[in-house]
Structure 1
């Protein structure tokens, strides 16, 4: 689409509490470099080559700059102040995108995202308005109720990942809403504004680093990609 630019908003607001770490998990070392650097590099290396907006808690801006110098990390990116909730961080990331654009929003702690998925998601969003990466559940699923639990059809259950990619006008409308606690991801925010969410096939290797053992798994995935 002529005149439309690609952007990637990398949301890095994790505290590292579940990792029992001294620094947020996006800064933990993965194959010799901070997790966040692997994530940014994936988008930069994709054929889509989006402009990168990093949304980071302001308290860690200087620390990130020092890490970039220490690891000679020179991929261009814009650094933006994070918000109280993920919702507000994405709002902040959207503020400076004032031109026609396709915008991917991605968790900083999903460093194993494949270049193929990135490019496929941008392409679908450009054609249809949005593309949300997801994988079908491989496990049996039960839902808690007031009286016990009920079994759900796992073939109808999708586990949502990122990136979640949208046309900028869809995001601007959706993020013009007031924050609600049920806004756990961008798809929920956009859907509440009246837009039908379209899924695109993801990858189980696109894990979100949450617990210490996830670092070990991610190391294996990244080494196998190389």
Structure 2
């Protein structure tokens, strides 16, 4: 019997690096807010998935108005976020009534996530209890200290993306640990709680839209996909 699948979409950005007064998840991309593309991607993967959207309390009315304006009907549940990403994810996890299942945790501003990657994340998490999307580095990297720099082997490193998908019971218990600044994503929380992390191949197209340049790239990628 397949486990119930959930997706927690975390969208608490402010748009600072976008030089915008509008939170970045609400900026238009190909005619509608970035966040709507993200939710649709998970619903297109499976209409049976339960989507939990975590938003700051101040953004809820804006989101509801945008849904009306764009006739947005993708099913989802709204949960109020916390003062940090850690607290927001924890709120999302605690809003799930079931005690078992698989949950993908995904950035609201990664709207180009594909069905094959979502599918892979759930399949791998079902087998290994964790599945974290990652890509290889394209460029050389150096480590810096106070007075010098040193080349390092880039093949040893990965850039981490979302979705980060887990056994629900495991990740929910992991989020009971105390929050510290080093816990920058869900994989670091699970690891800190004593769990091993399984990586799988993500996609360079699965960009996180945080700067004006990212928005231009995302628009180009969507246009290519639609014209392909």
Whether the 8 Å contact between 1:48 and 1:122 is mirrored in structure 2 is no
Task: State the Cα distance separating 1:191 from its structure 2 match.
Answer: 0.4
What are the ranges of 5 or more consecutive residues in structure 2 without an aligned counterpart?
A: none
Q: Is the 8 A contact 1:10 1:54 kept in 2?
A: yes
Could you list the runs of 5+ residues in structure 1 that have no partner in the other structure?
A: none
CA contact 2:175–2:189 (8 Å) conserved in 1: yes
Alignment of 1:12-91 (within 5 A): 12-47=11-46, 49-91=48-90
Q: TM-score, normalised by structure 2?
A: 0.96
Question: What corresponds to 1:112 in structure 2?
Answer: 112
SS at match of 2:17: helix
- On the 8 A contact 1:48/1:119 being kept in 2, the answer is no
Query: 2:210 maps to which residue?
Result: 210
Matched residues in 2 for 1:163 and 1:50: separation?
Answer: 14
- How many residue pairs get aligned? The number is 225
Over 3 Å counting, the alpha-carbon distance change for 1:48 and 1:203 in structure 2 is farther
Deviation of 1:47 (Å): 3.9
Superposed structure 1 runs of 4+ greater than 4 Å apart: none
Deviation readout 1:78-103 (Å, 9 max, x if unpaired) = 00001101000000001121321100
TM-score (norm 1): 0.97
Residues 203 and 156 (structure 1 numbering): CA distance in 2 closer, same or farther, change over 3 Å?
A: same
Aligned CA RMSD, in angstroms, stands at 1.1
- In 2, the alpha carbon distance for the partners of 1:48 and 1:134 equals 26
Deviations along 1:50-72, whole A, 9 cap, x unmatched? 21000000001011000000000
User: Does 2:102 match 1:102?
Assistant: yes
